[in-house]
Amino acid sequence: MERVTRVKLLDVSTVASYALAIVGFGMMVSAVLRTLSSSLKYIYTRPLLINALRTNANHAERLCKTAPDSYFGAVGAALKTAGMIGSRDPKIIPTATLPAYDAGGQAISMKWKTLLGRVKLGLMAAGGAVALGLSKGVPPIPVIVLAVGVAIGFLWLFLYKQEVDRCIVLARAEILPEVNRAVADGRYTFPPPPAA
């Protein structure tokens, strides 16, 4: 006869601890990788965008499409809306660009807030993994390492979201007037000519 081996509660909690830590780490990595692919420094991109708006506003619109998850997306939405109204009156253009920019900025901010919420869930999973490990004594070292990695990733994403929000506010004050001037001066044509 074969002996039936019973699984000990310690073994189950260890496996569950590893599983929660790995899930939390995976959620964090998927969100942090998006920050690495879209890192735009405002101090470097502001002069680039302002120069493009002053010389060739249609090129500025194409630049805005390269990074839709940053303030570029909101500037691109304002530029396109200003072009669609078909007016060059400097008093009418801001009435279209401000709401378009604010809506685009809120959508971008909400996207990063959603990603931050996903990393919060990962942080809770990693915390649960450490708590499960503590229930049997000392949590396994890899679980602790993964939980610390998730905490660092959460901090990274939190600071990145703060930077994105700061850039959106700064661009509204510094770049949006240039968008209005570009449309009022006739440097932006809608629909844009085809790319060469």
96-128 pLDDT tens trace: 999 999 999 999 999 999 999 999 999 999 999
Mean pLDDT of 79-87: 90
3-state secondary structure of 29: helix
What pLDDT was estimated at residue 9?
Answer: 58
From first CA to last CA, the distance across the chain in angstroms is 80
Contact present, 126 and 25 (Cβ < 8 Å) = yes
Higher pLDDT pick, 5 / 181: 181
Confidence of residue 191 (pLDDT cuts 50, 70, 90): confident
133-160 pLDDT tens trace: 888 788 889 999 999 999 999 999 999 9
Query: Cα dist. 134→25, 93, 127 in Å?
Result: 19, 61, 10
Q: How far is it, in rounded angstroms, from Cα 109 to Cα 165? A: 6
Mean residue pLDDT of the chain comes to 89
Domain segments of the chain: what residues? Answer: 9-184
Mean pLDDT of 69-87: 92
